[in-house]
Amino acid sequence: METKQENIIRTDYAEVMQKSYIDYAMSVIISRALPDVRDGLKPVQRRTLYDMYELGIRYDRPYRKCARIVGDTMGKYHPHGDSSIYEALVVMAQDFKKGKTLVDGHGNFGSIEGDGAAAMRYTEARLEKLTQEVFLGDLDKDVVDFMPNFDETEKEPVVLPVRIPNILVNGADGIAVGMATSIPPHNLGEVIDAVKAYMKDSSISVKGLMRYIKGPDFPTGGIVVNKDELKNIYETGTGKIRLRGRVEVEKLKGGRQQLVITEIPYTMLGANIGKFLNDVAGLVETKKTTDIVDISNQSSKEGIRIVLELKKDTDVENLTNMLYKKTRLEDTFGVNMLAVADGRPETLSLKQIIEHHVDFLFEVTTRKYKTLLTKELEKKEIQEGLIKACDVIDLIIEILRGSKNREQVKKCLVEGITEGIRFKTRASEKAAGKLRFSERQANAILEMRLYKLIGLEIEALQAEYEETMKNISTYQDILDNYDSMAAVIMKELDDIKKEYNTKRRTSIENAQEAVYEEKKMEEMEVCFLMDRFGYMKLIDKTAYERNKEAAHGENKYIFTCMNTDKICIFTDTGKMHTIKIADIPLVRFRDKGTPADNLSNYDSTREQMIYVGPMAGVSRSSLMFVTESAMCKIVEGEEFDVAKRTIAATRMSEDDRLIFVGAADEMEQVVLQSRGGCFLRFLKNEIPTKKKSAVGVRGMKLAQGDVLEHAYLLEGHQEYAINYHDKQYSLNKVKLARRDTKGIKPRI
């Protein structure tokens, strides 16, 4: 019995991974995430539109269930999840996301406020007229290449013959591997004018094109406020567009006013509208503004309408500028005009996109008119044959009557072979031998009906022939002359603009940076309270004086501070978090506070507070740091006076933990206590002052497996007792020794 010989190929694992990852990355870039510069569509969009075209779901026919479209697309062309196909279909139908919708949706296709579309079994769709005529119109004329689908049972177009630069009109966004695209939508009429300008003068600059394309035209309207930066963005293909919502002031009775937001930045679409409303409410709650009385979202199908009711005598301009600064009413749209051009991803300028599209238009138009010319030449051949046949119709009838079969007639008409055919006269046979019709003409003659011999029909045939010759002349002229083809393309573009153009919605201008004067906070002294669970609050000093005993019984940290200061929170991970005191709510004594987690980067699940104090006090004193491994140092407090919300307060080894931070200025002695029950007392001046980035020095020699548990700072003559093994133990009784010694175990 023969045994199979194994063929083991040894390959470096790193090489296999590298090749596999590159293949995967290129697949995502080319076949999923990035649009083609020619039709501005990703594969999923192209396949969905082509499938709708194949299913005959035209703009003038009934809607069909989206589930049918999605299932058919998935089964024939796009072997991925149904959700990705349906999401692509939904986006193509949402007029608040696309400059021009490509799909006409019927049912719940989501809202501008972020509500999702209904399930595909409930919604219906059909092609828009624009899509059918401008995107799919000439697919039957061999204008683009077709390729096999994933299982080679169907053919799908490599690209759609789109006659407008869809990548500019509808924009694009997509995240690939290591790259992303973000192209804003533009106005259809302006883009068509720019394409025509380029066709008339291919040396036109980006600045010249911008005479036609003023800037992006977002479906949500709004105002682009950095007009001067657009030229650089269009030249490089990257940059940031600054967008603002449109704000109007409406006067109410009694001299009051209200701000009405009628257009939002494109970036605020969806859940960000709710976030904007929360941000405005937050400004009111934190008393950043006291001018807003009420907020209401009165948006409907008619459009956006967010109303802010104002107090009397509000400085409207200052408040509007505050909204631009503190909320997403002013936002940036990151532009990265990345697309697949000639089979590879490329960041393109405005002119390059138009260049690629015009080249594609000429290619599509050339293929279209070559197909049309071929058809007309075939028609001409047949018409010439029929006209010639009408002149010798008696002879042809004689051949038909004298022949035994169709093949005999065809041979006579094409090659003049008369063998086996009975003719009335020798002259007829001689004439038949001279016939030389083409194969196509012979078939047309054999299929010709008798009514075609009526005089009027013969005249109509003659007229058709003249029309065909005229068409051939026109098509040849279009194919042979650049100007003729350009004129045809420009006429088509003019027709598209005339039917589908809409007014610009986004204003383009240069606006001043939003500047608002923050109302100065009235400086006052408050009392800070924090309980052992990390809940903190501010109360009036008078409220503190009235409830002093209860305050000290219920809270871990208590101190007075100015409301303009910050709170410093040092944790066992060696971090320092800061919180503006102005952000902490000023409440009644019995009100519950706010967790530190809500107002800072502090995470109570991962770190533990070991010292809390006001920045004013911390920065004016020196702090002693002690870690679990007995590393000690003193750091000048001014090092912690920083603007950042979180910093590394000290440097430690990975497995170490901070156990003590304390103000050391007034103190003279240090006592360290280990988990094993060893105590060491030494003078504070033995600990050197170092930078916060230093590790420090060893304070105590620890036995193997032992760690420090507590550290204490003592004044020179202060009696300091702790509870040790359920008994009071005075730390002053610990024998004064030197730093970096073993310490003693007390006898109790």
Place of tokens 């052992």: 532
| Residue whose pair of structure tokens reads 């023969």 in the numeric block | 2
Residue 554: phi, psi to the nearest 5? -105, -15
Residues near 536 by beta carbon (within 8 Å), at least 6 away in sequence: 528, 529, 530, 567, 584, 593, 594, 595, 596
Dist CA 242 CA 184 (whole Å): 12
User: Length of the chain, please?
Assistant: 748
Say which of 122, 266, 451, 724 is annotated catalytic: 122
Contact 104, 93 (CB under 8 A): yes
Q: Is there a contact between 739 and 697 (Cβ–Cβ < 8 Å)?
A: yes
Q: Which pair of tokens denotes residue 488? A: 């045809």
Cα angle value 327/329/331 (rounded, 5°)? 90
* Helices and strands (H and E) in the chain: how many: 22, 34
d(CA 563, CA 14) in angstroms, rounded, equals 59
Q: 88 with 105: CB under 8 angstroms?
A: no
C-alpha–C-alpha distance, residues 172 and 179, integer Å: 14
Per DSSP, helices labelled H in 113-236 are: 129-130, 166-169, 188-200, 206-209, 230-236
Q: Quick check: 197 and 172 in contact, CB under 8 A?
A: no
Q: What is the CA radius of gyration of the chain?
A: 42
Please say whether the beta carbons of 130 and 500 come within 8 A: yes
b/e map of 682-696 (b: 16 or more CB within 10 Å)?
bebeebeebebeebb
251 beta partners: 257
> For residues 480 and 373, is the Cβ–Cβ distance under 8 A?
no
Burial class (CB in 10 A: 0-12, 13-18, 19+), 643: exposed
Placement of tokens 């083991």 in the chain? 8
- Picking from 45, 106, 43, 47, the residue whose alpha carbon sits closest to that of residue 76 is 47
Q: How far apart are CA 180 and CA 173, in angstroms?
A: 7
122 is catalytic: yes
Which residues are tagged catalytic?
Answer: 122
